[in-house]
Amino acid sequence: MKTLVDSIDAGAQPSIAEFVAALGDVIPAMLQLESTPQDPEWHAEGNVFIHTGMVLDALYELLATRAASVVGPRRTALILAAALHDVAKPLTTRPMEIRGVQRIAAPRHEMRARSILSLLLMEQGLEYRLVERVADLVGYHVAPKFLVVKGRERGAYLRLAQAADPELLYWLELADMIGRTCADQAKQIEHIEMFGLFAREYGAWRRFADEAPAWRAMFRDQVEGSDALQDLSHGQYIHDLCNGTVSQPEEGIARSYRFRDGFPQLVVTVGPSGSGKSTWIERHLEDHVCISLDEIRGELGGRSEQSRNGEVRRIAREQLREGLRRNRKIVWDATSLRRDFRDSLTSLAADYGALVTIVCFPRAPRTYHRRNRERDNPVPAGVLDGQLEALQWPSRAEAHRWLVVDEDGEALAYYGGLQEALPYGVAPSRDVLREWDGEAVVR
């Protein structure tokens, strides 16, 4: 795959057939694109392979004309995202009844693909910047149209800007609409054009929002107190802004006074067995109260015992509630693979006004398996495969701060922190990503 990426960097425009040939061994679902049908009304052009080829052709035309300003790594990421945007359709496509009509649909294929790519691309020798950008573009590529169709307000556009590069999403989804055959194609393209207009109007055209650098500077300068207090105040402002409950940073600064008398802190780790979560916690969070589901399970009869999971979770949540009540620093040591599980934790933390940090441990699947075999208490290989299948990669909207660490425990990316220094004594990788200057940049 590295050879293919290098060729795109040099200006190549691979066909869908070339992508399948190069990536079929890396991403097996690529080999199933041609055998995956699409709804004949929405995609009269045919199967996913045909559609993806048309999208690539449309994108190459845009890059030669209207999108000519998209160059370098952003161009490479955009082309890869176009080739991979429907890669999870072979895994999710099924007949469905929609508004009383039988359809062929692939529900949530975009987010399924984001989770898959966040891991599979890690073993290809690619820069993490590229892995993250491609996975995010694929994961959120359908969002622009629905923001327009559903008449969403400014906050929804700002939330999308936290998740992925809005301009690249615009070009990707425009190519997606041009690269198909459907009766309402002109209307669908109009939706994307409207997204571009609204995103610019709302200040949500740049990654993290057009005014994001100014907001961060204001909270650093005007919120007096610890780094954690500044991060919580700023992170809560972004959350409230996206929810539409505030509109100006001055409101967020005023609201920060509720945190001045103290607040709890919660770290939620995300990664399958073999990620290195517990080892990382021992090295960096010794001042935190650790709530380990494995340890609770061991106290109830054995770490491999799964029959009492309900009781394990009940005990863990009560420990969490007690720690939050006492304004403690807490780390939740569990796989936390599903979004609904994480939401139950972060919602409880929000009730207590906690600073929430998600720490992600992306690895190649083979790395998870190797590290799992090396553990004192490995889980069966089949269980780990099930975890990888269930993984829903976190979004940055789930927490105030978002930290990604590599196999050596160094930071690949850190978003939400206002200070130069990384938290918890974590060392930066050579190309650690931060959201400063309006997009993820190397610091």
- Note the pLDDT tens digit of each residue in 271-311: 999 899 999 999 999 999 999 998 898 887 765 556 577 88
Q: Give the span between the Cα atoms of 78 and 80, in whole angstroms.
A: 5
Segments of the chain with pLDDT less than 70: 302-307, 437-443
Q: What are the Cα distances from residue 127, in Å, to 113, 122, 165, 412?
A: 19, 8, 17, 10
Q: Give the span between the Cα atoms of 227 and 231, in whole angstroms.
A: 6
The answer for residues whose C-beta is within 8 angstroms of residue 313's C-beta and 6 or more apart is 293
Q: Give the span between the Cα atoms of 421 and 231, in whole angstroms.
A: 12
Contact 198, 213 (CB under 8 A): no
Task: Quote the pLDDT of residue 438.
Answer: 42
Task: Quote the pLDDT of residue 442.
Answer: 40
201-216 pLDDT, tens per residue? 999 999 999 999 999 9
Q: Whats the size of the chain, residue-wise?
A: 443
Question: pTM score > 0.85 for this model?
Answer: yes
Q: At residue 181, what are phi and psi to the nearest 5 degrees?
A: -120, 115
Q: Give the span between the Cα atoms of 119 and 338, in whole angstroms.
A: 15
Q: Give the span between the Cα atoms of 130 and 383, in whole angstroms.
A: 30
Task: Quote the pLDDT of residue 437.
Answer: 44
Task: Quote the pLDDT of residue 376.
Answer: 84
DSSP alpha helix (H) spans, 142-225: 143-149, 154-163, 166-178, 185-201, 212-222
